[in-house]
Amino acid sequence: MGATITRADLSEAVYQEVGLSRNESAELVESVLNEISETLIKGDAVKISSFGSFAVREKGERIGRNPKTGEEVPILPRRVLVFRASHVLKNKINNSL
């Protein structure tokens, strides 16, 4: 399995590709990530062309089961983040094999 990409890696890539200063590149990456986060917190979807879409789903309360004891346990309602890759990204991943 490959390495994990970090904010610093993204900033460095922007620095190399765009030619902004390292500080400006870091600020740009932070700005983009904050915009994505804030949009998702509001409950709106984020679609990035040729990459995929992020959305927040509401999950209702349900009954789960403790696998060790078999005891029923309520699972509280919550919001979950879902990502759906675009066909372009899926094709790139599959063609890289």
Same domain, 48 and 84: yes
Quick one: 25 exposed, middle or buried, by C-beta within 10 A (0-12, 13-18, 19+)? Answer: buried
Partners of residue 56 on adjacent β-strands: 81
12 pLDDT higher than 80: yes
Rg (CA), the chain: 19
Q: pTM of the entire structure? A: 0.79
Q: How many domains does the chain have?
A: 2
Q: What is the C-alpha separation between 79 and 97, in angstroms, rounded?
A: 34
Same domain, 21 and 2: yes
Same domain, 51 and 95: yes
Same domain, 35 and 69: no
Place of tokens 């915009």: 35
Same domain, 31 and 15: yes
Instruction: Determine the average pLDDT of the residues in 79-90.
Output: 96
24 pLDDT higher than 90: yes
Structural domain including 93 reads 43-97
**Tens-digit pLDDT profile for residues 48-80:** 999 999 999 999 999 999 999 999 999 999 999
18 pLDDT higher than 80: yes
Same domain, 53 and 18: no
